[in-house]
A and B are shown apart, each in its own frame.
Chain A
Amino acid sequence: MAQLIGEGIGRVDGPAKVSGRALYVDDLHVPGCYYGATVRSTHAHALIRGITLNLDYDWSDVIVVTSVDIPGENVIALMTDDQPALAEQVVRHVTEPIALVAAPTREKALEAARNVRIEYQPLPAIIDMARSRGEEPRIFGNDNVFKKLELRLGDVKAVTGGVLIEGEYEVGHQEQLYIEPQGVLAVPREDGGVTIIGSLQCPYYVVKALIRVLGHDKLNVVQAATGGGFGGKEEYPSMLSAHAALLATRAGRPVKMVYRRDEDLRATTKRHPARVKLSTRVDESGRLLSLDADVLMDGGAYNTLSPVVISRAALHVSGPYRWETAHVRAAVVATHTPPNGAFRGFGAPQAMFAVERHLDKIARTLSIDPVELRRMNLLREGDLTVTGQVVKAPGGLLALDAALAAADESPLPPLSPIPGGGGDAARRLPGRGVSVVFHGCGFTGNGEAKIKSKVILELQGERIRVLTGSTDIGQGTDTIFPQLVASVLDIPLSWVEMAPHDTALVPDSGPTVASRTAMVVGGVVDAAARKLHAALQVEARRSAPFAELARARRARGPLRVEHQHQPDPSLRWDDERYIGDAYPTYAWMATVVDLAVDIDTGEVTYRRLITATDIGRALNPVLASGQIEGGALQALGWATFEEVVTDGKGLMLNDRLTNYIIPTAADAPEMVTLLIENPYEGGPFGAKGLGEIPMDGPAAAVAQAIEAATGAVLNRLPMTPERVLEATP
């Protein structure tokens, strides 16, 4: 039955999801439940002079919580302790939570929130990231820098030959836009503790944050069916859970908090805006001699995960190319704007857009074909990355050749007229763009060694339960893990089930992030299954297939094995100097996009998107290609549609789905999704991480295609019709 690996079986939660039986947090009906709402700052930076209740309002059935009601510490614990659960004396960004209310109905809660009056004394604010570092007022530390880092390969200054080519690239915020808004239900427990049921990616993040806020550990966190995350439900649910738990504890009854879309858009984390300056030297044949990169990111008002985001940006700004020397400086700074946070790709897409556009500039300057320039410089076996990591079994060329071949072979859908599109009068020019990217799989450097991910397998009769803190947010964890166990043990899939993602039951398998779940935690599941088989053989004192041994011991009690991730001892990483094996392995992807640009309006129409991705091994090709297609469209959205428009205070103005525009099915291109199997010995059955890489490459390919079609050179995302038209010669 090992053939289960590589089979595109339907997701195990599919039947529940297509029948309406899958329960998301807002679907949970709890008698006596109150609804929570949040009172938020209307200032970017201000002193809070007073919080008062409108005395003309009926507060008899309303619970109100402010920072003084927090039993533990007023902090959302993550990397640093800078972010409060509720602002006390100072607000540092618009939409920062100040007070909470709960009432018997949602309407009453929203109304009550409007009757809480906050008196402010406004203070000067920093909105522009370019004016943050070392400036007043101070938001974080001594210099408003959350994290800065530097890495070097050889001596850039020693390279003086070749052609100097410089460029500056800029990307804006992007909203994750999970279709299910953030939501959490907090239910008081009989022991005085609280149960959190929520739409979230990382239940143990919430546990760790709540212990600090509540001052006790009588709590468990349960993941409800989760309507998309993309990083947006990595750290933010800790904030929302803290709020719901505070209200529920105070009210002595369950409290549900589900954000309305406008609140979700205005208040929750986004992709970090970035400005990347590249100064490079290239010889006349196109060989890359030196890379000098300066990456600046806007972290917003609190640290959240920004240090890790900037680190990934720094490690990817080289692109998948061989540079003879490199010097990368990267910093993420504080501004008085809503904090930015995790989002699929996690710093890499920003860096990759910059370097891929820069390769186009090099190609343009030297009159070299942009594809050939990439082919010439792609990392090959034994090359060094900018951290000095020796490249093993790189998939860049495999991916590029496969994608280009498919572009020649598969039909290009006709550019058909569309209603309102201008018919014969429209002047639409076709263009093709190509990009190549890589993405480090799993945590950076020695991250996994610190996390110590655990998985438990429980055998009872012939049923195996998989206990893991890794969640399924749509990407298919709950299907892949049973597939792995059944394959390793050569048993029917129906023998394996997933335990509920409840921290009362499951161990900490590390967060569900960083393209690590299938590769890293899947590896732990694989090893745990082997361990279980070994345990049965020891118990039976004979070697036999697992199924036979399991049947023979059917009458005996349950058997439990636990396994913890064992990092590859051959990996070396110097976290101070950023030297060594930055990632255990890399996924590689080539994109070929065909589009048309209306030169009268700057509107871009996508026709076909070909991706070829080296993912090591496709454990479940249907789920794997689904991840890539979804991520690629998210990238196309970032490329041409999605723009967060803010006012002078950093408040998002287009806080609705009518004006924060994501692609529909009619905007999406036909996709050809090629999965390249180039096994990685450290992953289960050779699998690598694949969740994020599709976010990295398409935007740059689109920019190249627009340039090919119109001559418009765009170095800033999103490439809205306005910017395309303006740049069109």
Chain B
Amino acid sequence: MKLSFVVNGQPREAEVRPMARLLDVLREDLRLTGAKEGCGEGECGACTVLLDGQSACACLVPAVQAQGATVLTVEGLGDDPRLARLQEGFVRCGAAQCGICTPGFLMTAAELCQKGQVLSRAEVRDAVAGNLCRCTGYQKIIDAVEEALCADQPR
């Protein structure tokens, strides 16, 4: 099938099998390798992207369901100043270590930022529980997400 969708603000097209995983389309056809594969079954969240504004594991989305959709990947985060701040916060807080889970966490956090929710620390933990990290113990990731959500609140 010819897949037409908008990725990181740009209209893109690719000739793909309809059941191809969105993750493979992004990584192999569009060479956007920011989304990572950690498990291939939606457990680790390293492949999280925003699909029409909602976080999804790109390994579980068939290309046919991305037809006409809007996709945001980690490569497109910096275009939004608010999300660029989220990225900077991750570095400053030490939320990234080996970095393999970082794009997925950023995308899950980006959805929270875009929804503008006010979350307690415990709620932030639940909200990012679909992303596994083995390096940080999550403490500094929660710090960075909490900081980004607070920064978004009107003072």
Task: List chain A positions with a Cβ less than 8 A from chain B.
Answer: 8, 10-11, 13-24, 26-27, 29, 176-181, 225-230, 260-261, 413, 416, 473-476, 622-623, 625-626, 629-634, 656-658, 662, 664-668, 670-671, 673
Given A630-B97, A657-B44: A20 touches B33 (CB 8 Å cut-off): yes
* Chain B 90-101 interface mask (CB, 8 Å, partner A; 1/0): 111110111111
Given A19-B78, A630-B97: A665 touches B142 (CB 8 Å cut-off): yes
A11 near B122 with CB under 8 A, answer no
Residues of chain B lying within 8 A (CB to CB) of residue A261 = 38-41
Nearest A residue to B94 by beta-carbon distance? A622
Pick 25 A–B contacts, CB within 8 A, sort by A.
A10-B94, A18-B77, A18-B102, A19-B77, A20-B33, A22-B99, A24-B33, A27-B33, A177-B134, A180-B98, A225-B98, A227-B38, A228-B97, A228-B98, A416-B122, A474-B99, A475-B97, A622-B140, A626-B135, A629-B139, A630-B133, A664-B138, A665-B125, A667-B129, A668-B139
State whether the Cβ of B71 lies closer than 8 Å to any Cβ in chain A.
Answer: no
The docked-state distance in angstroms from the alpha carbon of A607 to that of B103 is 27
A666 near B129 with CB under 8 A, answer yes
State whether the Cβ of B74 lies closer than 8 Å to any Cβ in chain A.
Answer: yes
The docked-state distance in angstroms from the alpha carbon of A471 to that of B32 is 26
Residues of chain B lying within 8 A (CB to CB) of residue A227 = 36, 38, 98-101
Interface contacts beyond A179-B100, A228-B97, A665-B141: sample of 8 additional A-B pairs, CB < 8 Å, sorted by A: A13-B99, A18-B106, A227-B99, A474-B97, A626-B140, A662-B134, A664-B129, A666-B125
Residues of chain A lying within 8 A (CB to CB) of residue B51 = none
Residues of chain B lying within 8 A (CB to CB) of residue A180 = 36, 38, 98, 100
The docked-state distance in angstroms from the alpha carbon of A494 to that of B153 is 35
The docked-state distance in angstroms from the alpha carbon of A26 to that of B100 is 11
Residues of chain A lying within 8 A (CB to CB) of residue B34 = 19-21
Would you give the shortest CB distance from A249 to chain B, in whole angstroms? 25
Residues of chain B lying within 8 A (CB to CB) of residue A473 = 98
The docked-state distance in angstroms from the alpha carbon of A629 to that of B36 is 23
The docked-state distance in angstroms from the alpha carbon of A405 to that of B68 is 58
Residues of chain B lying within 8 A (CB to CB) of residue A19 = 34, 74-75, 77-78, 87
Nearest A residue to B106 by beta-carbon distance? A18
Residues of chain B lying within 8 A (CB to CB) of residue A181 = 38
A18 near B90 with CB under 8 A, answer yes
* Chain B 65-96 interface mask (CB, 8 Å, partner A; 1/0): 00000000111011000000001101111101
State whether the Cβ of B128 lies closer than 8 Å to any Cβ in chain A.
Answer: yes
The B112-155 residues at the A interface (CB cut-off 8 A) are 121-122, 124-126, 128-142
Would you give the shortest CB distance from A417 to chain B, in whole angstroms? 10
Would you give the shortest CB distance from B119 to chain A, in whole angstroms? 12
Neighbour of B134 across the interface among A22, A634, A665, CB < 8 A: A634
B98 near A178 with CB under 8 A, answer yes
A228 near B134 with CB under 8 A, answer yes
Name the residue in B39, B125, B139 with the highest tally of chain A Cβ atoms < 10 Å from its Cβ. B139
Task: List chain B positions with a Cβ less than 8 A from chain A.
Answer: 27, 31-41, 43-44, 46, 73-75, 77-78, 87-88, 90-94, 96-103, 106, 121-122, 124-126, 128-142
Would you give the shortest CB distance from B152 to chain A, in whole angstroms? 18
A626 near B38 with CB under 8 A, answer no
A228 near B36 with CB under 8 A, answer no
Chain A binding site: helix, strand, loop or mixed by DSSP? Answer: loop
Neighbour of B139 across the interface among A8, A179, A623, A671, CB < 8 A: A671
Neighbour of A476 across the interface among B73, B97, B134, CB < 8 A: B97
Neighbour of A24 across the interface among B73, B78, B93, B100, CB < 8 A: B100
Residues of chain B lying within 8 A (CB to CB) of residue A229 = 98
Residues of chain A lying within 8 A (CB to CB) of residue B94 = 8, 10-11, 622-623, 625-626
Residues of chain A lying within 8 A (CB to CB) of residue B75 = 19-20
A179 near B43 with CB under 8 A, answer no
The docked-state distance in angstroms from the alpha carbon of A413 to that of B133 is 22
A24 near B41 with CB under 8 A, answer no
Closest 4 CB pairs of A and B: A20-B34, A227-B100, A474-B98, A17-B99
Neighbour of A20 across the interface among B32, B43, B137, CB < 8 A: B32
Neighbour of B100 across the interface among A8, A228, A671, CB < 8 A: A228
Name the residue in A228, A622, A631, A671 with the highest tally of chain B Cβ atoms < 10 Å from its Cβ. A228
Name the residue in B91, B133, B142 with the highest tally of chain A Cβ atoms < 10 Å from its Cβ. B91
Given A19-B75, A670-B121: A665 touches B39 (CB 8 Å cut-off): no
B41 near A658 with CB under 8 A, answer yes
B100 near A656 with CB under 8 A, answer no
Residues of chain A lying within 8 A (CB to CB) of residue B132 = 179, 657, 662, 664
Residues of chain A lying within 8 A (CB to CB) of residue B122 = 413, 416
The docked-state distance in angstroms from the alpha carbon of A13 to that of B140 is 17
The docked-state distance in angstroms from the alpha carbon of A14 to that of B88 is 9
A474 near B135 with CB under 8 A, answer yes
Would you give the shortest CB distance from B21 to chain A, in whole angstroms? 12
Residues of chain B lying within 8 A (CB to CB) of residue A625 = 94, 140
Neighbour of A18 across the interface among B87, B98, B128, CB < 8 A: B87
